[in-house]
Amino acid sequence: MSDFWQGRKIFITGATGMIGSWLVKKSLAAEASVVALVQDADPQSELYRSGDIQRVSVVSGALEDFWTLERAINQHEIDTVFHLAAQTIVGTAHRFPLATFEANIRGTYNLLEVCRLHGEIVQRVVIASSDKAYGEQPNLPYTEDMSLNGRHPYEVSKSCVDLIAQAYHHTYKLPVAIARCGNVYGGGDLNWSRIVPGAIRSFLRGERPVIRSDGAYVRDYIYVEDIACAYMRLAECLDDKRVQGEAFNFSAEKPSAVLELVSVIRKLMGCAHIEPDIRNCIQGEIRSQHLSAEKARTILEWKPEFDLETGLCETIEWYKAFFAGHDGRDR
């Protein structure tokens, strides 16, 4: 890893989430000075389980509180901001959209406004958007020149996040770039409604994994360490005028149907005798989504290092270790 990050002061929102925890880990390995926004302490988060929480400065508070963000960036003299914090569950947004809009939209413009006010110290900002920001499109894969067309609450929140970030660059010249990722999997994801952690937990228990769709929904799946590295690479390139104010897709470019993914997990875990439980009760989700990462490959010279089976093997081992100390039944 280059010495770009050595001693650099970075602020990570969503540091207790799966991606945030791995971004903290990668940043510490690169010898950055990390400040983490933590709303709720979760001892089962990878940030805590790994002990990395002891190596970062913690700012306690919520994205919705403007002055918490102002204090974090101003007092800690932050150079680089990674904004990952969000309400990320599609079903949760569908049932009660207000909290999702507050966290995802208000939280983002609060943070960007703080970065604008302290533009003399903030040199680069990376905003986590999503493939969901594109909404449903007639043609696939998604490319960055497509319109943002969210329709359901979670998609709309991500479309708004994306557009607000672009507005802050084009209006105020804020050095911001946007990351649009597919479905990220890896150790540390404790949202059991998601297919990868949910299926692994079920197979470890000898139970049938629940598939909420009909199993034919198509998604990109990319390993969390690849995405943590992608965020860092995007920030490293923000001095490049081709990157400022731009969005970049990050994808392994090998989409899979849900049943195909579960089949790979089942094979890797030696659970061929356990059939999935297909419920077909999903609401508010797009049937097929996947991304082209050509722009990131060309401009950022980025590519994923983990194929699906390798990433899933790493993920399965993480959950085996996790459940060795905790059975997860109260999660």
Query: Is residue 154 annotated as part of the catalytic site, yes or no?
Result: yes
pLDDT at res. 286: 84
Q: What is the mean pLDDT of each run of 10 residues along the chain (331 residues)?
A: 89 96 97 96 92 97 97 98 92 92 97 98 97 92 96 94 97 98 95 95 97 94 98 97 98 96 98 95 85 98 97 98 68 40
pLDDT at res. 326: 63
Residue 147 and residue 82: Cα distance in Å, rounded? Answer: 24
pLDDT at res. 282: 82
pLDDT digit string (tens) for 55-91?
A: 999 999 999 999 999 999 999 999 999 999 999 888 8
- The domain segmentation of the chain, as residue ranges, is 3-185+221-250, 195-219+254-287+306-323
Task: Choose, from 154, 168, 185, 221, the residue flagged as catalytic.
Answer: 154
pLDDT at res. 331: 40
Q: Which CATH architecture has domain 195-219+254-287+306-323?
A: Alpha-Beta Complex (3.90)
User: CA Rg, the chain, in Å?
Assistant: 19
pLDDT at res. 2: 67
* Average predicted confidence (pLDDT) for the chain: 95
Residue 234, token pair as written in the block:
């995007």
pLDDT at res. 1: 55
Residue 175, token pair as written in the block:
């050095």
Superfamily of domain 3-185+221-250: NAD(P)-binding Rossmann-like Domain (3.40.50.720)
pLDDT at res. 29: 97
Helix or strand or coil: residue 58?
A: strand
Pairing of strands 57-60, 33-38: parallel
Q: Do domains 3-185+221-250 and 195-219+254-287+306-323 have the same CATH topology?
A: no
DSSP 244-311: TT-EEEE--S--EEHHHHHHHHHHHTT-TTPPPEE-----S--SB--B--HHIIIII----S--HHHH
Contact 324, 196 (CB under 8 A): no
Of the candidates 129, 121, 120, the one whose C-alpha atom is nearest the C-alpha of residue 166 is 129
